[in-house]
Amino acid sequence: MNDPRRYVVIGGGLAGLASAVWLAEAGKQVTLLERRGRLGGRTHALEVATLHDIPDNGQHVIASGYEHLFRYLTSVGTRKFVEFPHGGVLRWPGGRATTMGTKGFQALRSLLGAHPDAGPMDRARAAVATVRLGWQCLNQPGDLADLTTDQWFRRLGMPATARVALWDWLALGIAAEPVRQESAKVFADVLATGIRLGIKHRRPVSIGYPTTDLDTLFVTGAHQVFEKYGVEVKYRAVARHIDIRDGAVTGVTLADGETVPADAVVCAVPNSYLGGLLDELPEHDEIYAAADKLGYTPIVSTNLYLDRPLGTEGTMEALIGGAEVIDQVFDRQRMHGRSTEHGWLYCLTTSGAYEQIHKPHDVVVDEQMALLRRYYPAARAAKVLHAQVVPMPRATFSQVVGTDGLRPGQGTSVPTLVLAGDWTRTDWSATMESAAQSAARAVELLLALPEYSHQARGNGSRK
């Protein structure tokens, strides 16, 4: 190894995993510190011991424009476990279903309002509003950051049918906030990224899903890379403090008092776990204030094992006509080709789950079953064989009005200390791609550091 510098990555979620994998691939000596007893962060599988099954902590979907995430999957050898269906399904109360195409005429129809009751006037108004929306994503009005997505849609004249069938739930899906509080700028920025990627690759960005559990997708391959390159992983290592001397990092102090020596650090913890870590960084007050304002938003996932199939038409179905939250049903039989020995597994995700997050699990299960009965005739007689509720109160950072411009970049005033994580500044909202893109940028900054010199180390290190 030509470069004897010690690179320490704090946090074993996607941003930390990608940073550690890419630094190791670049021939660096890497130690990964993770506060929990497992890797994966907010993307991990959860065992249901009684069923010998491992559903995920929450269904994760993947956009075809997730370039950095696909780079990571290629590094860990699991790119093959992502599929893109031909279209998504919108499900209406009573059981009616509409397929949203992503190609040609079908894609155009989806954009102009896939609502089955939309008349020609509605579709014409949707067409005009959609063109204005696309234009304003790329040429943003100055006051967009002060508007909620709801206000923006009204101003664009987006008809109610198009909002119900597409735009409201897409906005909620992208920023995990109800449209009455979500920042219009956050939504517009992500759409602009999607439009640019669509133009670059000459095909619209579409939504896909993993065909395996999240541990297999993200963690198993990372372990193999770590073994190959000799990356040390320290579990239950809670970083408390990044030590800086003379403008360079020297180590990371853990909660148990141990100091892990470091010549460069990637701090890849979420905004809500930052407290104290950056105290020695000159601009820490500004970063802490931003991290605090970005806050968090809840998601509740419910894994339901039923005694019969629901009669879904697609792998992923969005339940339309709910109030302020997005409810999606994921058919794990179709997604994973799993056996139905223990029943039919359906994963339901509720984003912007401000009310649900406080409810007892049995109440959540009852409510989700009542919801399924409204949308799927087959659910009326269905029995729940097993249920698992996964509340994630800090699922993502919040992207309400007033949060625009807060996210810090990956570089800091200390060149050997970089930040990563979905909440740092990227082209995406709080997503796996944001985590992976932040890691790519953080690693790039470290790899651009001047060549190692013994003199520099003598000046910058405590040892």
Nearest alpha-carbon partner for 182 in 399, 353, 393: 399
Closer residue to ligand FAD (CB): 10 or 191: 10
Per CB under 6 A, the list member of 8, 24, 32, 33 interacting with ligand FAD is 33
Nearest alpha-carbon partner for 250 in 443, 6, 452, 23: 6
Q: In this chain, which stretch among 14-22, 142-150, 179-187, 313-321 interacts with ligand FAD, using CB under 6 A?
A: 14-22
Instruction: By CB under 6 A, tell whether 430 contacts ligand FAD.
Output: yes
Amino acid at 233: V
Q: CA 107 to CA 116: how far, in whole Å?
A: 15
Instruction: List, in order, residues 6 or more apart from 162 with CB less than 8 Å away.
Output: 112, 113, 115, 118, 122, 125, 126, 129, 130
Amino acid at 319: L
SS percent in the chain: helix, strand, coil, step 5: 40, 25, 40
Q: CA 91 to CA 176: how far, in whole Å?
A: 20
Per CB under 6 A, the list member of 5, 6, 28, 42 interacting with ligand FAD is 42
Which residues in 396-415 contact ligand FAD (CB under 6 A)? 396
Instruction: By CB under 6 A, tell whether 23 contacts ligand FAD.
Output: no
Instruction: By CB under 6 A, tell whether 296 contacts ligand FAD.
Output: no
Per CB under 6 A, the list member of 421, 440, 443, 446 interacting with ligand FAD is 421
CB of 459 to ligand FAD, least distance (A): 27
Instruction: By CB under 6 A, tell whether 301 contacts ligand FAD.
Output: yes
Q: In this chain, which stretch among 88-96, 159-167, 279-287, 425-433 interacts with ligand FAD, using CB under 6 A?
A: 425-433
**Which residues, listed in sequence order, are joined to residue 389 by a DSSP beta bridge?**
302
Per CB under 6 A, the list member of 3, 26, 36, 366 interacting with ligand FAD is 36
Instruction: By CB under 6 A, tell whether 13 contacts ligand FAD.
Output: yes
Which residues in 60-79 contact ligand FAD (CB under 6 A)? 60-61
Instruction: Name the one residue in this structure whose structure tokens are 């909002």.
Output: 163
Instruction: By CB under 6 A, tell whether 82 contacts ligand FAD.
Output: no
Cα separation values, 234 from 213, 217, 238, 258, 365, Å: 24, 21, 9, 12, 37
Residue nearest to ligand FAD (CB): 13
Instruction: By CB under 6 A, tell whether 395 contacts ligand FAD.
Output: yes
Instruction: By CB under 6 A, tell whether 35 contacts ligand FAD.
Output: yes
Contact in structure between 75 and 25 (CB atoms under 8 Å)? yes
- Interacting residues with ligand FAD (CB under 6 A): 10-16, 33-36, 41-43, 58, 60-61, 238-239, 268-270, 273, 299, 301, 392, 395-396, 421-422, 430-435
